[in-house]
Amino acid sequence: MSTRLLALRAPSANRVYTESAGPLCVQEAHWVLRTRFAGIRVRERTLAGLDHLEITADAPVRELVPVVSTLSGVMALYEPAEPPEAAGEPADQDPTPLLRPVPLAPVLRHPSDLETTLKYPGKTNEQFTALLINTAAALSEHRDRLLEGSLTLLDPMCGRGTTLNRALRLGLSPIGAELDRKDTDAYRTFLLTWARGHRYRHSSDARRLTVRGRTIGSRFDAQLAPDKQSLRAGGQSITVLGCDTLDLGHVLPDGRMDAVVADLPYGIQHGAHHRGAVRRSPLEVLADAAPVWRRLMRAGAGMALAVNRRTAPYAEARAVLAEAGLDVVSADGAFRHRVDQAIDRDVLLAVRSDHPRAEALRALGAPEERTSHA
């Protein structure tokens, strides 16, 4: 059975990525959908002057819609009234089809201001953060847990929590780590103010983070739920560890994370801290941190890292990750887009080399595979 959906793309994607918005949305859909469904084809399509993604799959609409609803740039969904074959024309010359609106699945459980209220220099764009979470989750053997709200997710360089907030909106209970005390303090204050302002049931605890009697930073834990009923069902939790990401191995158990998502220091605005000193090479930080992050991942987990190609070129970043037992499965420049003059950003998708489906995922990232379906 072949299903076709047209997804109206959010105009904000164009503002954020300018010309790369379409290809980036296609890339995200490629990983998110082809790891789950057969017969996926995704292409950009302009209808009545508006940007859409056209998605074809060998899957029923009811299975496709919840997953498509998670895609970062999707604003509305439609089923075209006629399949392209009916027109007897090549697909790119179809007349504008009639569109039947299909409601998006309610995959986000909390209001959008949880993600958008905090504004600060160095904040990772919210839509791009959603793309990172979706692609990391797609690589995980437990990808269905994203929709169930039980995917375990770590942002080991979480700044002021953009990834954590998106994860909360998805119903997850994320963990973040951040060395900069100003960031962890700002995040704690924001989250508690937000929860109070929205009359959420919540409780929290902030204390020193100690390892074998030595203080290595701070720890903030919170539980929150929109109402009594959700609280009874368990609610959601969040943990923010105010420590060096290299210390995470002493704080978190091995092999529990389904997804690791990080926007790495670009070596421009953010100093890359290491044991009190500031080092400016993101590659050095990655080399030190990758073995730690790998240990925290389940064998079948996925990782999505945003990097600046100017300070962490693909081949070098890939070699550094390989050294730590992590295979990059995305191609060079697959998610490449310009952020500003100093930042030429890309996403590295990686899995542990013992991931049960490493081979199939490497094949999905092969350049010929990407272009033939995009």
Ligand X SMILES: C[S@@+](CC[C@H](N)C(=O)[O-])C[C@H]1O[C@@H](n2cnc3c(N)ncnc32)[C@H](O)[C@@H]1O
Using CB under 6 A as the binding rule, whether residue 352 contacts ligand X is answered as: no
Spatial CB neighbours of 182, under 8 Å, sequence gap ≥ 6: none
Q: How far is CA 98 from the centre of its chain?
A: 33
> Binding of ligand X at residue 346 (CB under 6 A)?
no
- The residue (of 70 and 163) whose beta carbon lies closer to ligand X is 163
173 near ligand X (CB under 6 A): no
With respect to ligand X, which residue has the nearer C-beta, 179 or 349? 179
**What backbone phi and psi angles, to 5 degrees, belong to 187?**
-65, -45
Asked whether position 280 contacts ligand X by CB under 6 A, the answer is no
Within 63-122, the residues that bind ligand X by CB under 6 A are 122
Write out the binding residues for ligand X, residues 241-260 only, by CB under 6 A.
Answer: 244-246
Establish if 45 lies at the interface with ligand X (CB under 6 A). no
Size of site (CB under 6 A) for ligand X: 24
Q: Quote the CA–CA distance of 217 and 176 in Å, as a whole number.
A: 13
Q: Judged by CB under 6 A, does residue 270 bind ligand X?
A: yes
DSSP-based helix, strand, coil % in the chain, nearest 5: 35, 30, 35
Does 42 sit near ligand X (CB under 6 A)?
no
Tell me how far apart the terminal alpha carbons of the chain are, to the nearest angstrom.
20
Residue in 258, 263, 327, 344 binding ligand X, rule: CB under 6 A: 263
What lies within 8 Å, CB to CB, of 252 at 6+ separation is 154, 175, 241, 296
| 123 lies in the binding site for ligand X (CB under 6 A) | yes
Residue 296 contacts ligand X per CB under 6 A = no
Alpha helices in the chain (DSSP H): 11-17, 21-34, 61-70, 84-87, 113-116, 126-139, 145-148, 162-169, 181-197, 228-232, 248-251, 282-296, 314-323, 358-365, 367-373
Closest approach of ligand X to the CB of residue 244, in Å: 5
Binding site for ligand X (CB under 6 A): 122-124, 157-160, 162-163, 177-180, 183, 244-246, 263, 265, 270, 272-274, 285
